[in-house]
Chain A
Amino acid sequence: MAAVPERPTRPGLTRQAVTFGRGLLLPALAILTALILGALVIVLSDPDLVTLFGVDPVAALGASWDLVAAAYGALIAGSIGNPGDLVGALAAGDLDAFVAALDPISVTLQRSTPLIFAGLSVALAFRSGLFNIGAEGQLYLGALFAVFVGFSFPGLPFFIHIPLAVAAGFLGGALWGFIPGFLKARTGAHEVIVTIMLNYVAYRLIDLALKTDVFQRPGREDPISKEVVESAALPPLIPGLAAGVHWGLVIALIAAAVVSWLLFRSTKGFEFRAVGLNPQAARYAGIDTGRTVILAMAVCGGLAGLAGTSEVLGSNRRLVSGLSPGYGFDAIALALLGRSRPLGVVAAALLFGALRAGATPMQAATGIPIDLVVVVQALVIMFIAAPALVRGLYRIRAGRTTGTEVFSKGWGT
């Protein structure tokens, strides 16, 4: 037998791929299990079907299958679209039909955009040992700052106006993140409590601002802001689909890349992660843990602020008090599902965006309420949070625990 050359100590590409694949296995199984249980919920919430099971189980099983297939079919059609339409349009050379067939994907990507930003915010916090429950409030502050710049300077060229508005949005969120960071570093106030409370402050602050002349649209009694001018609006990414995905997605993907670099390739990220994993040792090694916590929270806030920014500059072009359907809270789930990795967060956000995009068409097609999607989301999170459950279900042996599974330190200071 030929001598086996000594293996290099650096993990080769294959080993990295294996590690990566192993990391995907658990989330994939969690999603699968959630969908199966979601199917059960669909069946059980149909009283006629439940009765039928008592009379003719075989027929009931068949009917259940049909119902679940119809529901999930509509969900997929609503979020990804019909590949047949795409291919057909391509073959026929019909550009309009092709763009129309892209519509479901466009909506999915649009819904995913704020989720990516908010998910990155919570993921970065987890990596720094912080639990950011305040992404929702930071999102609103970002939206407030961005919308102000967005409607305030008509006449600016777009290549100045858009970056300015985006920067303002980041700043607004960063300010709302700085406060809990500062309080934690200086007084030991736990960021979970402070960020939760700041969410309420943010809601009311938005209500208040939208009643002032500065923000409120002239001639309106309800809380709605002035319209973002064209030069500050994020244009649609697919020409011809004005209502769908916009350039906010590109900014979100850039943000994911930047966060990835920041965390794993920069000295600041080294500090964030060191403080996140062992603040005591970080302090012994000369890292200023207080400043690190403040900076990390400010950056997290800024990222969440960009979620609000992309909504007001891209999808909505105005700020209303119900701007976010809870993106900031979904973000916690996204960070968990994506294992606090930027790429994982993007993938998780695409999944949640697809579920949200497909929910309405599903309800229209089968009468199954949108809430099913919420149930599926919740189940995914539950299985992610209880990896032992999934491992037990599918008889997977537990891997070696690594530090990357530590999301956040305990609830004490």
Chain B
Amino acid sequence: MKLELQGITKRFPGVVANEGVDLVVEPGEIHALLGENGAGKTTLMNVLYGLYRPDEGEILLDGRSVTFHDPGDAIAAGIGMVHQHFMLVPVFTVTENVMLGAESTRGFGGLLDVADARRRIVEVSERHGLRVDPDALVEDLPVGVRQRVEIIKALYRRSDVLILDEPTAVLTPQEGEELFAIMRSLARSGTSIIFITHKLNEVLQVADRITVLRRGRVAGTTTPGTTSREQLAAMMVGRSVQLQVDKAPSEPAGTVLEIKGLVVCDDRDHVAVDGLDLTVHAGEIACIAGVQGNGQTELVEAVTGLRPVSAGTVTLDGRPITAHPRRVFEAGCAHVPEDRLEDGLVPGFTIADNLVLNSYYLAPYATGLRLERHAILQRAREQVAQYDVRTPSVFNDVANLSGGNQQKVIVAREFSRPIRLLVAAQPTRGLDVGSIEYIHRRIVEKRDEGTAVLIVSTELDEVLALADRIAVMYQGRIVAILDPAEATPERLGLLMGGARPEEGLDPEAQEIAAAAASAG
């Protein structure tokens, strides 16, 4: 089915989210919709999906003008959407989830025909390589498989146009590859795919055509063959962007963070970090690369005092830490947590209050029990200016900021005091190119000031761009330590997937391997 959007304009009070957007998606085409957060991608798709009515412009399907009053109309017209946050019932099986809202029935009583639905699901999933057990409970499935269930849901409703909203945000690189294979298979069979993303590599890898949105307007349409990462980034941001982090070679000094034989259990009391050793020196950025769920979260929580340590030691400048988050904070450790809104900020608090979330009790922000509002506000104004947080005032609720600005608030809070160690987990997850560039620059600045930096990231691009040393984590251990110069994405990908490092190991890793062998 050929989809055309013509001159779509959507205004909200005070904002024009989309202005005269034209978009043509040919049958069987993978069309990437690229843009920074807030560029209007999601609004445009919500217009297409019947969630919003456009103020101007029209939607054409195979040349016929259509009007959608709600998503039901859009689904009936053959448009399916896989949201960034999945819309699944965890305690239902795959089959139940897929048939929900489009139930097959038989007989007069309207009995559910689960067998028929199951048969169709198996059929759809086999045709496109969407491997999934139709009888599994959704809550037992990994994220990547849940996404397949969402795709099957759309296909089950006979979608000819499939909208994927930031589908790779939650996937490992390998799962991403599998998704791309599925997308290509769907496109070959005639399904049109709109692929919303802000990741440049993916766009170049999988898209047939690319439309870039900037501030609600189409900044340009191009094809992967005729453009480059740099060009796309410039189109998105409106100026040329530094994609490579510009940094001098590191000058590592003394040991700051030393982790020895660390064992940490996860919430279900399974060993998640299994006898891990790692040292981070002043003035270097150590990156932990790994597929999500190999103990990185537990490692970071143990180091920052949030999770009890079962065995082993963590020392900062020779003094043991890992007791209480506040003691770790006072020892000079800054922490940029993995999940901004869950762990890093208090939505409902002002920007000013979030900027003192961990230091509110210290002078000059408090005298005894009394909060010193003036000192807090003054600091907030300074930091908002210094860290370029885009907000009308420091009294604004932090929940109303964009993701990039929220991350800047956290960075401002954590970076603007003398620190010995910086621990950052997924510091740029979900951010747009401009913000990523900014955060990376700040991290390198901290390193150059002599801070020891420990980054945990599942994004290979980020690891390769930032790291002075790369530690690959697999099943709770560091399995290899690499120099970024000799680390290729392929090699990292293999190690992250559990392949044994055979050769060319750096001496420290050999030491660790030897130590582990003698200990075992």
- Are B346's CB and A281's CB within 8 A? yes
User: Does B381 reach chain A (CB closer than 8 Å)?
Assistant: yes
Q: Closest CB of chain A to B118's CB: distance in Å?
A: 33
- Are B393's CB and A281's CB within 8 A? no
CA separation between A287 and B360, bound complex, in Å? 10
Main secondary structure of the interface of B (DSSP, over half): mixed
A284 cross-chain contacts in B, Cβ below 8 A:
304, 306, 325, 335, 337, 343-344
A402 cross-chain contacts in B, Cβ below 8 A:
348, 397
- Are B397's CB and A403's CB within 8 A? yes
The digit string for A388-407, where 1 denotes a CB below 8 A from any CB of B, is 00000000000010111010
Tally chain B residues at the interface, Cβ within 8 Å: 36
Q: Closest CB of chain B to A397's CB: distance in Å?
A: 9
User: Does B166 reach chain A (CB closer than 8 Å)?
Assistant: no
Q: Closest CB of chain B to A286's CB: distance in Å?
A: 3
With known contacts A265-B370, A265-B373, A285–B306 Cβ distance under 8 A? no
For B348, give its contact among A9, A277, A283, A400 (CB under 8 Å): A277
CA separation between A406 and B329, bound complex, in Å? 29
User: Does B238 reach chain A (CB closer than 8 Å)?
Assistant: no
Q: Which among A267, A269, A400 has the greatest number of chain B C-beta atoms within 10 A?
A: A267
CA separation between A284 and B354, bound complex, in Å? 12
User: Does A268 reach chain B (CB closer than 8 Å)?
Assistant: yes
For B347, give its contact among A9, A266, A277, A283 (CB under 8 Å): A277
Main secondary structure of the interface of A (DSSP, over half): helix
Interface residues of B in 282-312 (CB under 8 A from A): 304, 306
B370 cross-chain contacts in A, Cβ below 8 A:
265-267
With known contacts A270-B353, A286-B325, A278–B345 Cβ distance under 8 A? yes
Q: Closest CB of chain A to B102's CB: distance in Å?
A: 29
For A9, give its contact among B342, B366, B394, B399 (CB under 8 Å): B394
Q: Closest CB of chain B to A9's CB: distance in Å?
A: 4
User: Does B120 reach chain A (CB closer than 8 Å)?
Assistant: no
With known contacts A267-B369, A286-B329, A281–B400 Cβ distance under 8 A? no
Q: Closest CB of chain A to B280's CB: distance in Å?
A: 20
Interface residues of A in 9-35 (CB under 8 A from B): 9-11
Interface residues of A in 266-325 (CB under 8 A from B): 266-270, 273-274, 277-278, 280-288
CB-nearest residue of chain A relative to B384? A9
User: Does B326 reach chain A (CB closer than 8 Å)?
Assistant: yes
The digit string for A110-128, where 1 denotes a CB below 8 A from any CB of B, is 0000000000000000000
User: Does B156 reach chain A (CB closer than 8 Å)?
Assistant: no
Task: Assign chain A's interface to a size class.
Answer: 20 to 34
- Are A282's CB and B346's CB within 8 A? yes
CA separation between A277 and B345, bound complex, in Å? 10
Interface residues of B in 365-413 (CB under 8 A from A): 366, 369-371, 373, 377, 381, 392-395, 397, 399-400
- Are A265's CB and B381's CB within 8 A? no
CA separation between A284 and B305, bound complex, in Å? 9
With known contacts A281-B346, A283-B306, A274–B357 Cβ distance under 8 A? yes
- Are B395's CB and A285's CB within 8 A? no
Q: Which among B306, B325, B395 has the greatest number of chain A C-beta atoms within 10 A?
A: B325
User: Does B240 reach chain A (CB closer than 8 Å)?
Assistant: no
CA separation between A304 and B373, bound complex, in Å? 29
B397 cross-chain contacts in A, Cβ below 8 A:
402-403
User: Does B361 reach chain A (CB closer than 8 Å)?
Assistant: yes
B325 cross-chain contacts in A, Cβ below 8 A:
283-286
Interface residues of B in 309-350 (CB under 8 A from A): 324-326, 328-329, 335, 337, 342-349
CB-nearest residue of chain B relative to A9? B393
CB-nearest residue of chain B relative to A265? B371
With known contacts A281-B343, A284-B335, A403–B329 Cβ distance under 8 A? no
Q: Closest CB of chain A to B175's CB: distance in Å?
A: 26
User: Does B510 reach chain A (CB closer than 8 Å)?
Assistant: no
User: Does B358 reach chain A (CB closer than 8 Å)?
Assistant: yes
Q: Closest CB of chain B to A307's CB: distance in Å?
A: 25
Q: Closest CB of chain A to B60's CB: distance in Å?
A: 33
With known contacts A270-B360, A403-B397, A278–B373 Cβ distance under 8 A? no
CA separation between A280 and B342, bound complex, in Å? 6
CA separation between A266 and B399, bound complex, in Å? 23
Q: Which among A268, A281, A288, A406 has the greatest number of chain B C-beta atoms within 10 A?
A: A281
CB-nearest residue of chain B relative to A279? B346
With known contacts A9-B392, A265-B370, A274-B357, A281–B344 Cβ distance under 8 A? yes
19 new A-B contacts, CB < 8 A, other than A267-B361, A277-B347, are A11-B395, A266-B369, A267-B369, A267-B370, A268-B369, A270-B353, A274-B357, A277-B349, A281-B346, A284-B306, A284-B335, A284-B337, A285-B325, A286-B328, A288-B326, A400-B400, A403-B347, A403-B349, A403-B397
List the 9 closest A-B pairs by CB distance, nearest first. Answer: A403-B348, A286-B326, A9-B393, A285-B358, A285-B357, A277-B348, A286-B325, A278-B346, A266-B369
5 contacts between A and B (CB under 8 A): A10-B377, A267-B371, A268-B369, A282-B357, A284-B304
B residues contacting A by CB (< 8 A) are 304, 306, 324-326, 328-329, 335, 337, 342-349, 353, 357-358, 360-361, 366, 369-371, 373, 377, 381, 392-395, 397, 399-400
